[in-house]
Amino acid sequence: MEFQHFSVMLTECMDALNIRQDGIYVDGTGGGAGHSQEIAKRLTTGKLFTFDKDPDAVAICRERLKGYPQAQVVHSDFSRMAQELKARGITKVDGILLDLGVSSHQLDTAQRGFSYQSEAKLDMRMAQEGVSAYEVVNTYEERELARILREYGEEKFAQRIARFIVQARQESPIETTTQLAELVKSAIPAAKRREGGHPAKRSFQAIRIAVNSELDALSECLERALDLLAADGRFAVLTFHSLEDRMVKQKFAQWAKGCICPPQFPVCVCNNKPKVTLITRKPIEATPQELAENRRSHSAKLRVVQRLADEEEN
């Protein structure tokens, strides 16, 4: 199961986590264990918990982290991070990293059905269970398909593509990645097909996000992460999609502000204090050198916060 994986913004992520050798760290998205190995290397008495919901990624992480007794691999969705850690006796951590989206291993393994470039049965399930791309494409209503394509793929021709999908599947089910890719291409007016990469790229991204409930997992994790962070703990999130980046940005801003009073209130009555300091006001992007080496870095944005100590209760 050897594969090449270029971990996005590796140095920037390590700086962001500000790793203490005796600290407790969580990598929510183990993947090829690139970031996890770098964290593990920096620990002496510290601990690392590496999560992934893909059984293949879990196997790879176990293999690649086996030389690091300070690392433990957890086969779970990162939205369940707090519960899984609690079951292992951990209630506070010094750093959490999320490197969202699909791994190059998932993309490059044709039979996983993530790629429009290689023929495979439609699948795209990171966890290898639950609703697959086949079911989304062949059973979701036209309106829901259009919403997914528009919102998650920012696809201008969402409605047309959804209509083409529904018409095609009335003849026979859409079975494979290449069938879907061709169908998407045929729905996009010829003059527009060359805009923004392969014409099926946005639709595949959108369907993948829907299949894996990616925004729900992120939202759930964001809801719980603050309570998990020890004082001075860091939370670093690498996103590859404007919707994800917006969710992270808004949540971090809310934590940094503290106050949750409606904007029309003349003075604060909630008395909520800021919970974090923003380490990045603007997201960090990959260096020109990394951009030249790795296509995946192009849409990457890294945002980081640091937990403030809770005020003494009186």
Ligand X SMILES: C[S@@+](CC[C@H](N)C(=O)[O-])C[C@H]1O[C@@H](n2cnc3c(N)ncnc32)[C@H](O)[C@@H]1O
Which residues bind to ligand X, rule: CB under 6 A? 5, 7, 29, 31-35, 51-54, 57, 77-79, 99, 101, 103, 126, 217
Residue 183: which residues within 8 A CB-CB, separation 6 or more?
Answer: 161, 164, 165, 168, 174
Q: Is 274 in the site for Zn ion (CB under 5 A)?
A: no
Q: Identify the CA nearest to 94 among candidates 228, 222, 253, 237.
A: 228
Q: Is 273 in the site for Zn ion (CB under 5 A)?
A: no
Tell which one of 259, 285, 294, 299 touches Zn ion (CB under 5 A).
Answer: 259
Residue 31 binding target from Zn ion, ligand X, none, CB below 5 to 8 Å by type:
ligand X
Q: Judging by beta carbons within 10 Å of its beta carbon (0-12, 13-18, 19+), is residue 292 exposed, middle or buried?
A: exposed
DSSP tag of 312: P
Q: Judging by beta carbons within 10 Å of its beta carbon (0-12, 13-18, 19+), is residue 99 exposed, middle or buried?
A: buried
Q: Judging by beta carbons within 10 Å of its beta carbon (0-12, 13-18, 19+), is residue 89 exposed, middle or buried?
A: exposed
Q: Which one, 1 or 268, has the nearer CB to Zn ion?
A: 268
**Residue 168 beta carbon to Zn ion: minimum distance, rounded to whole angstroms:** 53
Q: Which one, 99 or 290, has the nearer CB to ligand X?
A: 99
96: left (phi over 0), alpha (psi -120 to 50) or beta: beta
Q: Which one, 9 or 137, has the nearer CB to ligand X?
A: 9
Tell which one of 1, 261, 291, 292 touches Zn ion (CB under 5 A).
Answer: 261
Q: Identify the CA nearest to 136 among candidates 123, 153, 127.
A: 123
Q: Which one, 112 or 202, has the nearer CB to ligand X?
A: 112
Is 116 within 8 Å of 129 (Cβ atoms)? no
Is 161 within 8 Å of 240 (Cβ atoms)? no
**Residue 191 beta carbon to ligand X: minimum distance, rounded to whole angstroms:** 34
Cα–Cα distance for residue pair 121/114, rounded to 1 Å: 9
DSSP tag of 110: G
**Residue 231 beta carbon to Zn ion: minimum distance, rounded to whole angstroms:** 22
Residue 33 binding target from Zn ion, ligand X, none, CB below 5 to 8 Å by type:
ligand X
Q: Which one, 190 or 267, has the nearer CB to Zn ion?
A: 267
Q: Which one, 103 or 132, has the nearer CB to ligand X?
A: 103
Q: Which one, 90 or 256, has the nearer CB to Zn ion?
A: 256
The alpha carbon of 140 is separated from its chain's Cα centroid by a whole number of angstroms, namely 24
Looking up tokens 């951009």 gives 291
- Give the nearest residue (CB) to ligand X: 31
Tell which one of 1, 87, 268, 292 touches Zn ion (CB under 5 A).
Answer: 268
Q: Which one, 32 or 233, has the nearer CB to ligand X?
A: 32
Q: Is 270 in the site for Zn ion (CB under 5 A)?
A: yes
**Residue 310 beta carbon to Zn ion: minimum distance, rounded to whole angstroms:** 17
**Residue 78 beta carbon to ligand X: minimum distance, rounded to whole angstroms:** 4
Residue 101 binding target from Zn ion, ligand X, none, CB below 5 to 8 Å by type:
ligand X
**Residue 79 beta carbon to ligand X: minimum distance, rounded to whole angstroms:** 6
Looking up tokens 């047309």 gives 160
Stretch that binds Zn ion, among 149-157, 200-208, 248-256, 264-272 (CB under 5 A): 264-272
DSSP annotation string for 179-234: HHHHHHHHHS-GGGTTTTSSTTHHHHHHHHHHHTTHHHHHHHHHHHHHHHEEEEEE
Interface with Zn ion (CB under 5 A)? 259, 261, 268, 270
